[in-house]
Amino acid sequence: MSADVRTYLELMRYKNCLMAGLASVIGTLIAFNILTSSAPSSYSPDKFPFFYSGVLFLAVFIVAGAGNAINDYFDVRIDSINRPERPIPSGRVKLKEALYFSYILFALGTLLAFSINAICGFIALFNSLLLIFYAKTLKSTPLLGNLSIGYLTGSSFLFGASIFGFEGLRTLFVLFLLAALAITAREIVKDIEDMEGDRMEGADTLPLRIGAKKASYFAVFIGFLAVFLSPLPYRMSILGLHYLYLVFLADLGFLAAIYQLLARNNPTKSSKMFKIAMFFALIAFIAGV
């Protein structure tokens, strides 16, 4: 291939891949601490799986990079106008090279995941197929695109927990659900924020389909649902009091984001507040074990 390594890392958006890989390892750490604590469990690992955590990090990094690469493949026409400096529209990576590169990454990441166990492998396979379908179709589908991003981001926790099999998935499912709800709400808010640009590009988003006001109400409903369900990990004896204290700060952030959206009609500030709240939620997950 004609492009150098740095260009392909740029195509993968490696910084985002690092964050995704780190989130999966955090999921492994949380699941391990929960399974080895006093919480009721039918499975307690003897020691932390450092080797498999490294393999998992690499698998998630690669699959995430493949998703970003194929996303740029399908977005080449829009990027040539909005982001001409990116590897494909700038001519540093040919279109077919980007497509083949993404498929190679999907295959490699999935194989690495299967080398850990079948559950991890099937999650990687499903996410790979969803990333392809999202880039090709779902991105331009109102709500389904938002839900896909919510699932894919939240599934980093499932990836991490899958090292410990079904017991790990059961343990972290509620954390995955909370993360997916919060991220879906923020994705809708971002679509409200980007309405003018999306309208000019002929995009089909939820706010453009049903209007900014109705889309705001829907985002608020999902945000409130995440806040309402946030005590569940403590009530289910999955996480301790430290989680409850810190998730209260996260909930305040979500409520502030909702206020900015409804009362202030400021989706930009609301999106930033959602991001800050999700950071506190992640800290709460880690501190609560």
Q: What is the pLDDT of residue 1?
A: 44
Q: How many CB atoms lie within 10 A of CB 180?
A: 22
Average confidence (pLDDT) per 10 residues, the chain, 289 residues: 77 90 90 74 76 95 95 82 82 91 96 96 96 89 90 91 90 90 92 80 83 92 94 86 91 93 88 89 84
State the residue range of the domain holding 62.
5-287
User: Domain containing 29 — which CATH number?
Assistant: 1.10.357.140
Q: pTM of the entire structure?
A: 0.86
Q: How many CA atoms lie within 13 A of 211 on its CB side?
A: 3
Predicted pLDDT of residue 205: 85
pLDDT of 38 reads 57
Q: What is the pLDDT of residue 4?
A: 85
Q: Are 62 and 112 spatial neighbours (Cβ–Cβ below 8 Å)?
A: yes
Q: Which residues have a Cβ under 8 Å from the Cβ of 107 and sit 6 or more positions away? A: none
Task: Using alpha carbons, select from 97, 92, 112, 103 the residue that is nearest to residue 66.
Answer: 103
The DSSP line for 128-197 is: HHHHHHHHHTGGGSTTHHHHHHHHHHHHHHHHHHGGGHHHHHHHHHHHHHHHHHHHHHHHHHHHHHTHHH
Handedness of CA 116, 117, 123, 127 (dihedral sign): positive
pLDDT of residue 40: 53
Domain count for the chain, please give it: 1
Q: Considering only CA atoms, which of 1, 134, 3, 5 is closest in space to residue 63?
A: 134
The widest CA-to-CA distance across the chain, in whole angstroms, is 56
Residue 126's contacts (CB-CB under 8 Å, 6 or more residues apart) are none
